[in-house]
Amino acid sequence: MENKRVAYLVLRVLLAQPLSYWQLLKHIDVDLPTTQKSLKNLLEEGLIDYKDNLFFLTPKGEKTAKLLGISPFSSLICPECQGKTVSLAHHQALLNEFTEIIQGRPQAISEYDQGYVTPVDTVARVLFMYQVGDIEGKEIILLGDDDLTSLALLVSGWPKRVTVLEIDERILAFIERIATIKGWDNIDLIHYDARYPVSDELKGKFDVFLTDPVETIGGLRLFFSRCVEALRGEGCVGYFGLTHLEASRKKWRQIQQDILAMGFTITDIVRNFHTYLLEREDVVKLELRVAKEAPVKVEFPEIDFYTSNLYRIYAVETPQPLVKGKVDWERELYYDEEAYVTCP
Amino acid sequence: MENKRVAYLVLRVLLAQPLSYWQLLKHIDVDLPTTQKSLKNLLEEGLIDYKDNLFFLTPKGEKTAKLLGISPFSSLICPECQGKTVSLAHHQALLNEFTEIIQGRPQAISEYDQGYVTPVDTVARVLFMYQVGDIEGKEIILLGDDDLTSLALLVSGWPKRVTVLEIDERILAFIERIATIKGWDNIDLIHYDARYPVSDELKGKFDVFLTDPVETIGGLRLFFSRCVEALRGEGCVGYFGLTHLEASRKKWRQIQQDILAMGFTITDIVRNFHTYLLEREDVVKLELRVAKEAPVKVEFPEIDFYTSNLYRIYAVETPQPLVKGKVDWERELYYDEEAYVTCP
| Cα Dmax for chain B | 65
When pLDDT is cut at 50, 70 and 90, the band that residue A335 belongs to is confident
Fold of A89-333: Rossmann fold (3.40.50)
Does the structure show a pLDDT above 60 at A2? no
The CA distance from A161 to A172, in Å, is: 16
* Binary contact (A137, B1; C-beta < 8 A): no
A196-252 pLDDT per residue, tens: 999 999 999 999 999 988 889 999 999 999 999 999 999 999 999 999 999 999 999
Q: Give the pLDDT confidence score for residue B108 in this predicted structure.
A: 84
Give the pLDDT mean for A121-144. Answer: 98
Q: With a threshold of 0.95, tell me whether the complex ipTM lies above it.
A: yes
Residues in chain B within 8 Å Cβ distance of A268: 269-271
Q: Give the pLDDT confidence score for residue B152 in this predicted structure.
A: 98
Q: Under DSSP, is residue B331 helix (H, G, I), strand (E, B) or coil?
A: helix
Residue A177, chain B, CB below 8 Å: the answer is: no
Residues in chain A within 8 Å Cβ distance of B248: 316
The CA distance from B77 to B275, in Å, is: 15
Interface of A with B in 81-140 (CB under 8 A): 81, 83-87, 89-91, 127, 130-133, 136-137
Burial of A210 (0-12, 13-18, 19+ CB in 10 A): buried
* Radius of gyration of chain B measured on its C-alpha atoms: 21
The residues, any chain, with a CB within 8 Å of residue B193's CB and separated by 6 or more, are B167
* Binary contact (B267, A268; C-beta < 8 A): no
Q: Where are the domains of chain A?
A: 2-67, 89-333
A94-114 pLDDT per residue, tens: 999 999 999 999 988 877 777
Residue B74, chain A, CB below 8 Å: the answer is: yes
Q: Which of A19, A193, A215 is nearest to A113 (CA)?
A: A215
Position with higher pLDDT, A344 vs B47 = B47
**DSSP-derived secondary structure for B117-153:** E-HHHHHHHHHHHHHHT-STT-EEEEE--TT-HHHHH
Q: Under DSSP, is residue B319 helix (H, G, I), strand (E, B) or coil?
A: coil
Q: Which of A37-51, A316-330, B155-169 has the lowest average pLDDT?
A: A316-330
Q: What is the DSSP letter of B91?
A: G
Q: What is the DSSP letter of B332?
A: G
The residues, any chain, with a CB within 8 Å of residue B106's CB and separated by 6 or more, are B168, B170, B171, B174
Low-confidence ranges of chain B (pLDDT < 70): 1-2
Q: Which of A70, A69, A206 is nearest to A139 (CA)?
A: A206
- What percent of chain A clears pLDDT 90, i.e. is strictly above it? 87
Q: Give the pLDDT confidence score for residue B126 in this predicted structure.
A: 98
B251-276 burial, b if ≥16 CB within 10 A, otherwise e? bbbbbbbbbbebbbbbbbbbbbbbbb
When pLDDT is cut at 50, 70 and 90, the band that residue A1 belongs to is very low
Closest approach of B107 to chain A, Cα-based (Å): 31
* Binary contact (B80, A78; C-beta < 8 A): yes
A263-293 pLDDT per residue, tens: 999 999 999 999 999 888 888 998 899 999 9
Record the pTM: 0.97
**Size of the A and B interface in Cβ pairs below 8 Å:** 167
Fold of B2-67: Arc Repressor Mutant, subunit A (1.10.10)
The CA distance from A39 to A23, in Å, is: 14
Instruction: Name the helix (H) or strand (E) containing B253.
Output: helix B249-261
Give chain A's mean pLDDT. 95
**DSSP-derived secondary structure for B177-245:** HHHHHHT--SEEEEE--TTSPPPGGGTT-BSEEEE---SSHHHHHHHHHHHHHHB-STT-EEEEEE-SS
- Give CA B170 to chain center in angstroms: 21
Residue among A12, A77, A252 whose CB faces B85 most closely: A77
A160-199 pLDDT per residue, tens: 999 999 999 999 999 999 999 999 999 999 999 999 999 9
Q: Give the pLDDT confidence score for residue B113 in this predicted structure.
A: 72
With CA atoms as reference, the chain A residue closest to B88 would be A76
Closest approach of A216 to chain B, Cα-based (Å): 17
The CA distance from B222 to B194, in Å, is: 7
* Binary contact (A130, B76; C-beta < 8 A): yes
Residue B268 · residue A269 · CB < 8 Å: yes
* Binary contact (A260, B265; C-beta < 8 A): no
* Binary contact (A253, B264; C-beta < 8 A): yes
Closest approach of B69 to chain A, Cα-based (Å): 4
Closest approach of B1 to chain A, Cα-based (Å): 7
With CA atoms as reference, the chain B residue closest to A263 would be B253
Interface test with B, best of A67, A136, A160, A217 (most B CBs within 10 A): A136
